[in-house]
Amino acid sequence: MFILITGLLLGGTYALIALGLNLQYGVARIMNLANGEMLVAGGFAAFWVYTAGQVNPIAALVIIAPLAFAVNWLLYRIMLVPLVRRAKNRGALEVDSILATFGLSFVFVGLMTWVFGGGYFNYRFLATPVDIFGSSYAQNRVVAFILAVLIGGALWLWLSYTRAGLKLRAVAVNPSSAPLVGIDVTATSALAFALGGAVTAAGGTLVSMFFTLDASVGVLFTMKALIIVIMGGVGDIRGTIVAAVLLGIAETAVARLIDPGLTLAAAYLLFLLVLLFRPQGLFGKAQG
Amino acid sequence: MTGKDWRNLSLSAALLALAALLPIYGSPYWLTMGTTIAMFAVLATSWALFSGPTHYISLATAAFFGVGTFVTGLWFQVLPFWALPLIAAGVGAVLAGLVGLVTLRLSGVYFVIFTLGLAEMVRQVVTWVQNQTGQRGMYVLTSLTEREIYWMLLGLGALVYLAGWLIGRSRLGFALRIIGNDETVAKHSGIDTARAKVALFMIPGAVAAAAGAMLAPRYIYIEPSTAFAPLLSFQVVIMALLGGTGRLWGPVAGVIPFTLLWEAITRQAPNQTLLLMGLAFLLIVYVLPGGFVGLYDRAKRRWGGHS
């Protein structure tokens, strides 16, 4: 029971991060390998405002998320649109975007190490225990989970019931047909990319409440988010959430029962099973 | 073989001889640099053998390399040293074959992601096994000098070139060029694309592991966090792409300037190496998509006239 709930709490935050990546890859067709660095940047920003100005990280989200939105929008407009334009097919775009976002991720890590130094960052926020079903859990984890659910839920409602959300889903299904019904694919992709970045940075702020970050830890989160997106299926919100919770529980179980140093190995085991048996994602349909 | 082949062969032999004599005319500093360059030349060239024609970006180099160093670390006291790179190559090839079987049936993204975390995953497993058995890092104390390591790497490099040249002339090489251009066409003309890719991926796996086995004595002390450092994979990718994967000599043209630059930056401002790495990636994507080879080919087309 303890493992299940801890895993669920962790999985909620993972789901939010993976949703961000899924928007970027599923709609904007950019495999963003700098995603984890955006998360760390969100966490560092929260750390900075908390220690410098005693600003509550939850309140800081109001600034961090729009800022991340703006940064990612500019990144897409300036750096990624030229790649989308020159790509002859989806494969070429994938190779280019992978290399470009690798470059970005190293630049981010380099800049963050430069500004913040190579040390570890954490702060104490809501580090009091709460009781659920007889076991106690850190309050910050519970709060992070609730916020992740709220943000993720709002995102889902927006995607499902608004006109803008419908546009995003149309581009996700088929970017070459979307212009036929009057959708500006570039603008919609930029919106999706920026939104994905904002969601990821918000996830980073939540993670920083209970997790010690350093400038180079981003790639680990990128890796986990990628595994979740592939496991859940690209563009599939329900699958992403289920996969994130599965990963959270699997990691917690391995860390508790075998060794805390093996969490990535646990993620890889899940990844391997998905690749072998369901490469189209948990709920995806097999393609011909 | 045509006259051009003979010319290229004798040119390569002359360059190899010049490189092999470095310990005699070069200072110890240049021997150290030469060893590093030889290591990256071997890794980047073998990387390009697979990733060049197929466009699959492999980030598994560090995993294979680390496995190779551990082969030496575990058995250098019981086996003669010449056997270790061979064993490492075998282990590396098997590991690459397994990774290939799982991922190469699917599209390139899965492959990149899987190899991205592979070194870290192997590191976690090795660390865990060491904790279980109560081992820590290992000392690799041999009588090998840097000069001998350098010569071994040059020999491995010559083998990689020979393999690349032979593959280029073989049915497998032809099949891979078709796969790289259009995988659907390749399938329709009866090529077993997955098998060809897996077979080819085993080469960089074996070579990187053998290089790791040869270089283990240079590190003296081996522990998982240094042996499987993921940075190595990225360095190899950058160097190969900077040089260009279109020709066999391309990666080396990227390795030499990048290694020298990397060393200079590491000495001057060690914290800025990651920034340099990022900028180099962006440079390749936006300014030099074909690497130096692409630049050379364009220049040749403009001014060279024939061929």
In this structure, what CATH number is given to the domain that contains residue A139? 1.10.3470
- Report pLDDT digits (tens) over A232-258: 877 777 888 888 888 888 888 888 888
Q: Where are the alpha helices (DSSP H) in chain B?
A: 3-20, 22-25, 28-54, 61-75, 83-103, 108-133, 146-169, 171-181, 183-188, 193-219, 224-227, 231-243, 250-268, 273-286, 291-303
Q: Place B304 in a pLDDT band, splitting at 50, 70 and 90.
A: low
Domain that holds residue B88: 3-229
DSSP letters spanning A140-204:
HHHHHHHHHHHHHHHHHHHHHHSHHHHHHHHHHH-TTTGGGGT--HHHHHHHHHHHHHHHHHHHH
B295 belongs to a structural domain: no
- Chain B positions contacting chain A at CB under 8 Å are 55, 57, 102-103, 105-110, 112-114, 116-117, 120-121, 124-125, 127-128, 131, 230, 234, 241, 271-282, 284-286
Question: Over 60: is that where the pLDDT of B272 sits?
Answer: yes
Residues A154, B180: Cα–Cα separation, whole Å:
43
Is the full-model pTM beyond 0.90?
no
Question: Over 60: is that where the pLDDT of B91 sits?
Answer: yes
Domain that holds residue A50: 2-277
A286 belongs to a structural domain: no
The verdict on a CB contact (< 8 Å) between A99 and B280 is no
Tracing tokens 């943000």 back to the chain, one arrives at: A151
A36 belongs to a structural domain: yes
The verdict on a CB contact (< 8 Å) between B278 and A113 is no
Structure tokens at A144: 């992070």
Q: What pLDDT sits at residue A284? A: 64
A283 belongs to a structural domain: no
Q: Place B307 in a pLDDT band, splitting at 50, 70 and 90.
A: very low
Residues of A in contact with B59 (CB under 8 A): none
B266 belongs to a structural domain: no
A130 phi/psi in degrees, rounded to 5: -125, 150
A121 phi/psi in degrees, rounded to 5: -125, 125
Q: What are the beta bridge partners of residue B138?
A: B222
Which own/partner contact pairs does B102-105 have at CB distance under 8 Å and 24+ positions apart?
B102/A272, B102/A275, B102/A276, B103/A275, B104/B56, B104/B194, B104/B197, B104/B198, B104/B201, B105/A279, B105/B194
Across A125-147, b (16+ Cβ under 10 Å) vs e yields bbeeeeeeeeeebbbbbbbbbeb
Residues of A in contact with B109 (CB under 8 A): 31, 94, 98
| Interface check A262 vs B, CB under 8 A | yes
Query: Beta A120-121 vs A213-214: how paired, if at all?
Result: antiparallel
Option in B117, B230, B285 nearest A99 (CB): B285
A–B CB contacts, 8 A cutoff, strictly below:
117
Residues of A in contact with B102 (CB under 8 A): 272, 275-276
Tracing tokens 């009866």 back to the chain, one arrives at: B190
Closest CA to B44 of B283, B277, B258: B258
Q: Give the residue-averaged pLDDT of B143-149.
A: 78
ipTM: 0.80
Residues A247, A260: Cα–Cα separation, whole Å:
14
Structure tokens at B229: 């450092």
Rg (alpha carbons) of chain A, rounded to whole number: 18
B72 belongs to a structural domain: yes
Q: Are B125 and A265 in contact (CB under 8 A)?
A: yes
Residues B149, B180: Cα–Cα separation, whole Å:
35
Residues B262, B273: Cα–Cα separation, whole Å:
7
Mutate to test the interface with A, among B124, B183, B288 (most CBs of A within 10 A): B124
Mutate to test the interface with B, among A24, A85, A107 (most CBs of B within 10 A): A107
Across B86-96, b (16+ Cβ under 10 Å) vs e yields ebbbebbbebb
All residue ranges of chain A with pLDDT < 50 are 287-288
B179 belongs to a structural domain: yes
Mutate to test the interface with A, among B275, B276, B284, B287 (most CBs of A within 10 A): B275
Q: Which of residues 174-213 of A touch B (CB under 8 A)?
A: none
Residues A37, A18: Cα–Cα separation, whole Å:
13
DSSP letters spanning B13-79:
HHHHHHHHTHHHHS-HHHHHHHHHHHHHHHHHHHHHHHHHHH------HHHHHHHHHHHHHHHTTTS
Between B133 and B62, residue with greater pLDDT: B62
Question: Over 80: is that where the pLDDT of B306 sits?
Answer: no
Q: Which residue of B has its CA nearest to A79?
A: B286
Q: Give the residue-averaged pLDDT of B270-277.
A: 79
B224 burial type by CB count under 10 A (0-12 exposed, 13-18 middle, 19+ buried): buried
Tally of structural domains, chain A: 1
Residues of B in contact with A114 (CB under 8 A): 271-272, 275
B188 belongs to a structural domain: yes
Residues B162, B164: Cα–Cα separation, whole Å:
5
B241 belongs to a structural domain: no
Closest CA to A229 of A178, A177, A280: A280
**Distance (Å) from the alpha carbon of A65 to chain B's nearest alpha carbon:** 25
Tally of structural domains, chain B: 1
The verdict on a CB contact (< 8 Å) between B128 and A259 is yes
